[in-house]
Chains A and B, each alone.
Chain A
Amino acid sequence: MNEAVKPDKGAIFKNKLKTWFSQPQNIILLLFGIVLTFSTVAPIVAIVEDTFKIHPGTIDQHLTGKVSGHTIVNYIDLFTSKLAKTNLWIPLMNTVILSVLTCAISILFGGLFAFLVTRTDMKYRKYLSSIFIFPYIMPQWTLAVVWQHMFYSNKITGTSDGLLASLFHVYFPNWWCRGVFPSAVVLGLHYAPFAYILIGGIFKNMDANLEEAATILDTPKWKIMTRVTLPMIKPAILSTILLVFGSAMGSYPVPHYLNLTTLSTKYISMNSKYTGEASILAIIMMIFGVLILGVNQMSLKSRKNYTTVTGKSGQLTKISIGKAGKYVVGIIFIVITFFTSIWPIILFTLETFLPNPGDYSFLYTRDVSHLTTKWWITNENVTENGMYGQPGILYNSTIWHAFKGTLLLAVACALIAGTIGTLIGYAVSKKRRNKWANYVNNVAFLPYLMPSIAVGAAFFILFSNEHINLFNTYTLLIIAGVVKYIPFASRSSLNSMLQLSGELEEAAVIMNTPWIKRMTRIIIPIQKSSIISGYLLPFMTCLRELSLFLLLCTQGFILSTTLDYFDEMGLYAFSSAINLILIVTILIFNTLVNKLTGASLDSGIGG
């Protein structure tokens, strides 16, 4: 009679399950945890398998005497053959040097600029802030091509004379023209806006009280810089390293154009006869990505030491660099950014009116009748008038087809990656101490740290088989782009969501407001600026991405591969025009988004 009521374990479990599923963040984490595990791990598995596979007509077939099956000879040959130094160790060393130098240049240049814009009374800040991000908007190798046009000479590089040699008879040494130095400078300039945005963000929000306190205590300026200012921006520097190192490592076009052998260029050149060994190079690049993530995790822990930075300071005082100094420094940066941002655009425009690629003879003959509009307005490809069988830019169906494809790709990647990233950022912020949430956060970020060329190679191998063959489809490009660019959105969303107090949403929950409404009416409107950045960055990056998509489609499929094709062919008029199209497109979108939402790439930094 007095039997104790036994708890119904099934009902409890059901209830727990119901409660668990009633929280959208749990569903988001479960769903994307599974999807992202597959989208990140499957390509890695595919490329690892490829390193053991025998490929007909390549070294592994020759060494094993078999046309199919699996083997370890690719590893043995890559690490121990006579070619190990040429195929592995030198490219690896060059890659590491290039990545380290690129990080250093981007941090020094971008960081110094961020300091001057945010913490000093330098003049022309608004203009400089907008113009500084131009090298990031442009495809990275276009600066490399500009470098060639400027500094190459018959005397040193054994080619025709570049602008400086032909106009001023100035001959730059070979180390300046080709190899690691120009590659690092070009990539450093390209990624300096990263450092500017990240470091500038911290400078802008930094509590000036600390520096002021040090000043009151009569601490020397250099000591304030090294003991107070620099430690406070250390997390931003680490974030920049995190983003730039992997990107520089996976850059194919810049070292390719500037004659530097890296793992990326070696991957491409080895792929025909040493296919399996090339895949090992991709794995090595991926290992660097994982290592960088590990270092970042360690640095996150060490950031506890810098918790003296609290909230926004209402007392941000600008350091005076002198009455003349503020103009002089401003003008110096106007000149520098002219050469890094404006000069390439002038050259691109000019190039589309030259009679032959790189033929600047009108400059020294001072005869503008040598210029031509043929590259724009020729509407046929039958008569050979120095157009290499191509119709003019305005009538070139390849260019405009690629433009449409690129827009489709960029919009799709931005929408999908932006939405997924925002949801992940939201869910992770809600479960910030949960291990699974941390895992999802990391697995979403990992592809960004992996070199683009390796990610592209992995996706090519994964989606080119008897069951599924997506080569040269927008589907494949969108998948690769989304996986690669989710981190842009997830990081910016996570950072902004962490700033939001949970009470806001809790109040809405008490009012029985559905989740969708909570998101669209409360959370997204409050953090729209960061969230829109999470859409804008994938869009912009997708427009001019080459390394990631190089192996996944043919050359007329999207603008970046078309641009690379024309650059390689030496048809600089077409590639320059594509550059202009890209720059104008990005500026239009950036301005539109800025006008509509108030968000932009450099928003809030340049004042």
Chain B
Amino acid sequence: MKKKIISILLAGAMAIGMLSGCAEGVPQAAPAAGTGEAEAAKPEELTGIDAIIAEAETMSLEELAAKAIEESNGKTFYGVGNSSRGKSALPVFIEYLQSIDPNYTMEFEWQQPKNNKIFEQLTSDSLKGTGTFAMTLIQDGNQIQTKMVDTDILKTFVPKEWAEAKGTTPDAYEGFLPLQTLNKVFMYNNTGSATYGNCWDFVAEGSHPLFMGVDSEIVGKNFLMMLTEDKYAGWLKDAYDKLDDSKKAYFDPVIKEVEADAADLGLGENGKYALAWIKLWVNNYNEQTDDGPICNTLVDASATDQSGLLVYSKLRSVEESAGVSVANVNVAAYDDGYTGIGGYGYCHYLFLTKNSPLPWTACAFIAYMTCTEEGFDAWGKDMGGYSSNPKVAEAIESTYHHSEGGGEEFPAKNDRGYDWWTGEGQGELVLEDPAYCSEVSFSVGSWIDVLDHYSAE
């Protein structure tokens, strides 16, 4: 019966496939991030949104603001993003424009779609002559690369002042424009006796860290795929080497088991360590709906010995009570002698849409968020989000002192900053690389898809 159903479905599918004409297919041509656009056309040949971006990249924030006032006075600005804080940043941006022209007004609407819908929303909006959304603030470099950039739906604008702060120029800069890097870090409840002195301890026997499912938040899967990149596989190998023999004995059969897969997938010499860690992680993590519930769980005194990988900034919202305290958790990477990766970092990227109805205003807003402390304040006021602009990051730290946010009472909240988190032998954050993720999405990614997921007995 099953076979019959399959054959009927396949036959139907084939018939429609033939009727609809597979000849419509367009050969794939996908420039990698930051390479294709620069080569596509000379500045003087650019038209439409590309020409505006090219011109905007030569202008200061003040000049862009003047253009924005001219363009959007009295109009409505639509933005869409994975972060709800775009909604808080927009009124501050409008105030900034009003400080230049007191008569300036702009309505705005900020949407935050759920369940990966942002990509479908942007794709369908791109089909219009003039789109609804002026810009987007979006995460998941892998899907951005394959669904948004390769398809020319989103356009990167690099503000002049931002590039200068990074010691480069908009023309020379390659890649997407990040607003900030966020980190998800390993934490554990310290009310018991469990210790996590090595990143391999999180995948050791009996360990079931709390984690958002790799299918519900794709950046989590990007993290796993990034582990197979040579640099991070090397970090895992180094951490493995520091394990004692009894622990190694537990991991060795798994490493051996995936050795052939690592070769088949074309990974580097340490690829097998990455695959083994990934396999054990997927086999053992305890899936939760969001980082919020994970944080609520870990800070509870009853969650003895539980661990998790979650957005660091969630700790900011814990209110001390009889049963709940930030003091109940340790950030693993802050522990003396901790070895290996401390978590992973991913970016919120800024883009214009290809059919942006208010391109100058979008450029000005992007420049404002990336080049000024006030523009980044909606995100900067909290720990665990690091401006991509070093000058802004410095200003934010001197205003909010996140590095001392928890004091001696709550050391987990003393944010050690981007440089520490990304440093080798320090936080060892695994950083998302959109190009690498999209490259291995259907090799390593598919390998991850077939792994068994944990289900408590």
Contact = CB atoms under 8 A, between A and B. Distances in A.
Nearest to A256: B289
Contacts of A165: 302
A161 B302 contact: yes
Contact of B318 (A356, A362, A465): A356
B120 A570 contact: no
A174 B151 CA distance: 45
Contact of A472 (B26, B111, B293, B449): B111
Interface string B378-403: 00011000000000000000000000
Contacts of B210: 158-159
A259 B287 CA distance: 8
B215 to A, nearest CB: 4
Contact of A359 (B85, B321, B442): B321
Per DSSP, chain A at the interface is loop
A86 B120 contact: no
A428 to B, nearest CB: 32
Contacts of B218: 272-273
B21 interface: yes
A464 B450 CA distance: 32
Interface string A550-582: 110011100001001101111100000000000
Contacts of A21: none
A57 B24 contact: no
A156 interface: yes
B119 A272 contact: yes
A218 interface: no
B116 A272 contact: yes
Contacts of A357: 292-293, 296
A66 B22 CA distance: 10
Interface stretch (B6-14, B35-43, B195-203, B416-424): B6-14
B31 interface: no
A256 B300 CA distance: 23
Interface string B313-336: 000111111111000000000000
Nearest to A64: B25
Given A178-B456, A466-B128, A66 B25 contact: yes
A58 B295 CA distance: 32
Interface string B11-30: 00110110011111111111
Contact of A356 (B117, B132, B324, B449): B324
Nearest to B287: A259
Given A161-B302, A569-B292, A555 B26 contact: no
Interface stretch (B98-106, B142-150, B164-172, B364-372): B142-150
Contact of A555 (B21, B22, B113, B295): B113
A551 B302 CA distance: 37
Nearest to A80: B6
Given A68-B26, A256-B289, A465 B300 contact: no
Contacts of A157: 286, 456
B295 A570 contact: yes
A335 interface: no
Nearest to B132: A469
Residue of B29, B218, B449 with most partner-chain A CB within 10 A? B449
A158 B320 CA distance: 22
A450 B116 CA distance: 23
B60 interface: no
Q: Place the interface of chain A in its size category.
A: 35 or more
A62 interface: yes
B431 to A, nearest CB: 21
Given A68-B24, A76-B10, A568-B290, A154 B143 contact: no
Interface string A148-178: 0000001011111100011000000010001
Interface residues of B, number: 87
Contacts of B295: 570
Interface stretch (A24-32, A203-211, A263-271, A338-346): A263-271
Contact of A65 (B27, B318, B381): B27
Contacts of B124: 464-465, 469, 471
Given A166-B302, A361-B321, A82 B450 contact: yes
B10 A273 contact: no
Interface in B104-158: 111-117, 119-121, 124-125, 127-128, 132, 143, 145-147, 150-151
Contacts of A362: 321-322
A598 interface: no
Contacts of A273: 218, 441, 445
A257 B292 contact: no
A384 B450 CA distance: 41
B289 to A, nearest CB: 5
B456 A174 contact: yes
A70 B22 contact: yes
A56 B147 contact: yes
B412 to A, nearest CB: 15
B324 A359 contact: yes
A208 to B, nearest CB: 45
Contact of B20 (A52, A365, A554, A568): A52
A580 B319 CA distance: 24
Interface stretch (A115-123, A308-316, A386-394, A434-442): A386-394
Interface in A333-371: 355-362, 364-365, 367, 370
15 contacts: A65-B27, A67-B29, A69-B24, A70-B24, A71-B17, A157-B286, A157-B456, A158-B208, A159-B288, A174-B456, A178-B455, A256-B289, A359-B296, A361-B324, A569-B292
Interface of B: 6, 9-10, 13-14, 16-17, 20-30, 84-85, 88, 111-117, 119-121, 124-125, 127-128, 132, 143, 145-147, 150-151, 208, 210, 213, 215-216, 218, 286-290, 292-300, 302-304, 306, 316-324, 381-382, 438, 441-442, 445-446, 449-450, 455-457
Interface of A: 48, 51-52, 54, 56-59, 61-62, 64-72, 75-76, 79, 82-83, 86, 154, 156-161, 165-166, 174, 178-179, 256-257, 259, 268-273, 355-362, 364-365, 367, 370, 372, 381-382, 384-389, 460, 464-466, 469, 471-472, 550-551, 554-556, 561, 564-565, 567-571
Given A62-B442, A71-B17, A568-B290, 11 more contacts: A51-B13, A52-B20, A69-B26, A156-B456, A159-B288, A259-B287, A259-B455, A269-B213, A272-B116, A365-B322, A386-B318
